[in-house]
Amino acid sequence: MLAFAAVAGSSPAFAEWSKTEHGAKAWTEANYRIMNVRDIEADGNPVKAEYHRNAHPSTKLTLWNKGGVDGPPDNDGNPGTVESGKHSRIFKAQVCEERDKLPDFCSGWYSF
């Protein structure tokens, strides 16, 4: 039972939107109100999720994860993951891996 709990805590539970791009993974939860971003490659490149919320639709928000794959877990126990607060609904997002002095690797924007 303990092994099952460890495995269950390592993946996004009830993700409505999820996208992986190069060394970054982002997903929403809580009815599109929480954004998560996880670094999945130990390459030293920070990762980020960029997104828009209904409360301020023209403002692009950025959730950074600079802690790497061994960074602290989010509230659900996902390792190396940064989680936003629960606010208004997220309606558009992309996930990126930042690259120093080069263009970032980004997934492109998804609307939902």
Q: What is the pLDDT tens value at each position of the chain, 112 positions in all?
A: 444 344 444 455 567 999 999 999 999 999 999 999 999 999 999 999 999 999 999 999 999 999 999 999 998 899 999 999 999 999 999 999 999 999 999 999 999 9
Indicate whether 2 belongs to any domain. no
6 in a domain, yes or no? no
Q: Is residue 46 part of a domain?
A: yes
Which pLDDT score, from 0 to 100, does residue 21 have?
Answer: 93
- For residues 15 and 29, the answer to whether their CB atoms sit within 8 Å is yes
Report pLDDT for 6: 42
Contact 61/51 with Cβ under 8 angstroms?
Answer: yes
Number of domains in the chain: 1
Write down the pTM of the prediction.
0.86
Listing DSSP states for 14-39 in one string gives T-SSEEEETTEEEEEETTTTEEEEEE
Q: How far is residue 3's CA from residue 42's CA, in Å, rounded to a whole number? A: 25
Report yes or no: 97 and 44 within 8 Å, Cβ to Cβ. Answer: no
Q: What's the pLDDT score for residue 13?
A: 59
Domain harbouring 70, CATH code: 2.60.40
Range(s) of the domain holding residue 85 = 17-111
User: What does the pLDDT read at residue 8?
Assistant: 41
